[in-house]
Every structure is written in C-alpha cells, then in structure tokens.
Amino acid sequence: MNLTNKTAIVTGGGSGIGKAISVLFAQNGAEVIILDMDEKGGNETKNEIEKTGGRVMFHKLDISNHTLTLAYLNTLTQIDILVNNAGIAHIGSLENCSEADFDKIYQVNVKGVYNCLSASLPKMKAQKSGVILNMASIASSIGIPDRFAYSMSKGAVVGMTLSVARDYVEHGIRCNCISPGRVHTPFVDNFIAKNYAGEEAEMFEKLSKSQPIGRMGLPEEIAKLALFLCSDDAAFITGVDYAIDGGFINLKM
C-alpha cells in the first residue's frame, strides 16, 4: 500500500480521523496537503509528520467557500488522491433543526465535498488517473435518533460517491466512501463533557457498547482502510460504500 510520488489532499486533517489519515499516508510515501479551518490542529498534524521526515503542507481553508476552494486547489499541479473527510455534526430531530442549523450542515458536509470535487476532478481527468475517498457515515444507511441534518448530509455523500464513480470510471478515476460507526475522537469526548457532565464515564461506556463489538473504533483503524482504498492495491474497487462500524449495521439486535 505504497503512496510514493502521490499527492494526497486530506480535508479536516487537523484532528481525529483526518489527522490519522494524514499521518498514515505520509508514513507510506505520500505528499500530504492538509486543508482545515483549525489552524492549531492543522499545524500540529503538520509538525508531527515533519518530525518523522514526511512531506506535508497545511493550508487554512474554508471548503464551504466555492471560490476560495477552487482558487487554492487550482494552484496545485498534481492531485492524485482526494480524501473528503472534513465534516461537522448536528444533534436533533427535524423539529430541533433550525433552518440555520440545516444550512450550516449542508454548507460543510455537502457543498464542501462538491467544492473539492469540482476543483480536483479536472486535474485527475487530465492525468487520466486519480482516487477519491469520501467520508460518509452509518447514519446514511440506517435511522439513528436525533441525527436528521447529519443523516441528510451523509446520505448526499454516498449519492455523490456513486455518481462520480460512474461518470469518471472511464477516465481512470476511482471513487469510494467509508461509513464509520462511532469512533473515539475529540468530538466524542467534547460531546459527552458538554451534555453529560458528571456522568462522563457511564456515558462513554454506554456509547462504546452500542457497537456489537463492544467498543468504539479508533481513528487509526479508519485510516488503515482509507490507505488501502487509496492505494493501487484497491485498483479494482470503485463505487463502494464501506461500513467500518464494529458490526453496528449488520449485527445490531
């Protein structure tokens, strides 16, 4: 699963799953370009990669801004891999989702993916090669309570994945997506601390056991699947949504 001489863009690479993907890709030879609004996190990931001799750049970018996203990505001479990982969450049913909430989720989770695709696909077409990996969620496949806007956005990600895979397969471009279950990231810790003060340990255990395998996933485990799908070892795979969820979808009772 060697990515030597590959240039890989990872959105949301400043923390969590995006950070794990950025570090692992760099360890396997890729030049990684991290795009994130979190300047502190982005630079921390960059520094971690540089300490081990990896090739990396960080650029602070709001991927929901079409003009800025195209302007920056058009400065790059080569894009071999695009990982659309950046995303935000929202908790609430339709009745608890305001128009502002809905628009915010859409702008980042849907339009952000569209913007990065719009800027990257022409370069991949010209190269006659490229790999795109989008981050979806199990919320795109099954009903999860109080995830109306988030489920909408991740369902759109799966739809865009299949469409791009179909339209660009003849140009040598592959496109897949990953649908993680609950993964132990800073978001989970912050969510528990904010909503269950004094009950952090109990809630963490409850959320962990919601996966049949009995624990949350690790960002590094998601990164390993991403590395495989973006490598030439997966050259025969396109148009697939991979659940990596500790059995949540198929084994849930």
Residue 225 tokens read as 């699947």
Query: Which pLDDT belongs to residue 195?
Result: 79
Edge-first strand order for the sheet with 31-36 is: 55-60, 31-36, 7-11, 81-84, 130-135, 173-180, 241-244
What is this structure's pTM?
0.95
Query: Which pLDDT belongs to residue 186?
Result: 86
Residues near 102 by Cβ (< 8 Å), separated by ≥ 6? 149, 152
Query: Which pLDDT belongs to residue 156?
Result: 98
Q: Check 106, 114, 150, 242 and give the catalytic one.
A: 150
Query: Which pLDDT belongs to residue 46?
Result: 98
How far apart CA 36 and CA 15 sit, in angstroms, is 9
> How many H helices and E strands in the chain?
10, 7
For the segment(s) 7-183+218-251, the CATH number from 3.40.50.720, 3.10.20.30, 1.10.1740.10, 3.30.565.10 is 3.40.50.720
Q: What angle do CA 180, 80, 123 make, to 5 degrees?
A: 115
Query: Which pLDDT belongs to residue 205?
Result: 94
Please state, as a whole number, how many other Cβ atoms lie within 10 Å of the Cβ of residue 143: 7
Residue 36 tokens read as 């994130």
Please say whether the beta carbons of 220 and 189 come within 8 A: no
Active site residue 150: yes
Query: Which pLDDT belongs to residue 155?
Result: 98
User: What DSSP letter does each residue of 22-58 carry, written as one string?
Assistant: HHHHHHTTPEEEEEES-HHHHHHHHHHHHHTT-EEEE
Amino acid in position 220: E
Query: Which pLDDT belongs to residue 194?
Result: 84
Per-residue pLDDT of the chain (253 residues; tens, 9 = 90+): 899 999 999 999 999 999 999 999 999 999 999 999 999 999 999 999 999 999 999 999 999 999 999 999 999 999 999 999 999 988 899 999 999 999 999 999 999 999 999 999 999 999 999 999 999 999 999 998 989 999 999 999 999 999 999 999 999 999 999 999 999 998 889 888 887 889 999 999 999 998 999 999 999 999 999 999 999 999 999 999 999 999 999 987 5
Q: What Å distances lie between residue 71 and 64, 106, 112, CA to CA?
A: 13, 21, 14
Rounded to 10°, the helix 219-230/16-27 angle is 50
Query: Which pLDDT belongs to residue 14?
Result: 97
How far apart CA 117 and CA 85 sit, in angstroms, is 12
